[in-house]
Every structure is written in structure tokens, then in C-alpha cells.
Structure 1
Amino acid sequence: MESDLLIPLIWTVVFGILLTLGVRKFTKKQPTNKRWVRPKSTDEINKSQDE
């Protein structure tokens, strides 16, 4: 491949990556404040049912 063709291809890839990163940054979803709660273990469930 000739260097005359290689340079525009490299710049096309560079600008494509920059464009993709920019679009991802501006269209990012707002984070939600969901809290993960540890589910009760089966031992705790069995103990509460026995009482």
C-alpha cells in the first residue's frame, strides 16, 4: 500500500474514533441511584418461619 493512501486512511480512523467518543460522551444516560440490597439467605428465612 502506498503512503499516499495510508495517510488519509489513518486520519479517517482517528477522526472516526474521536467522533464516536464524543457522541458517547454527550449521549450518556444519567446514572440512577439504585441500591443493591443483599437478599436474605435461606437460613435467615427458615429461622424467621420457625419462630
Structure 2
Amino acid sequence: MPKQNADDEGYQRMMCPAEAGKAQCSIKPHTMDRSIQLPLVDPEPAQWAR
């Protein structure tokens, strides 16, 4: 999730979707008590992605 618009050099800061309130993540326990309708992010990469 973008935190701000890109600067003159094209650099753009991003925000964690769980911190933005758009998902739940087990790494950030305070996000787990949010709405059950929010997607649960799997922070561990899949075996094939390693």
C-alpha cells in the first residue's frame, strides 16, 4: 500500500497492509482481532518460492 505519492526520482514509500487495516498478519498479533472478513496474510514464503 502506498504511503505517499512518488517523489521526483520515482521513490515511493510503502506501508504494510496489516498496519493499514486491510489484512490480518500473525507477525503482528494486534491485527488478529480485526474483522474476520479481512484476509489473513501468510508471512512465510511458499516452499517453491525459496
TM (normalized to structure 2)?
0.22
TM (normalized to structure 1)?
0.22
* Rg larger in structure: 1
* Higher relative contact order, structure no. (Cα contacts within 8 Å, ≥ 6 residues apart): 2
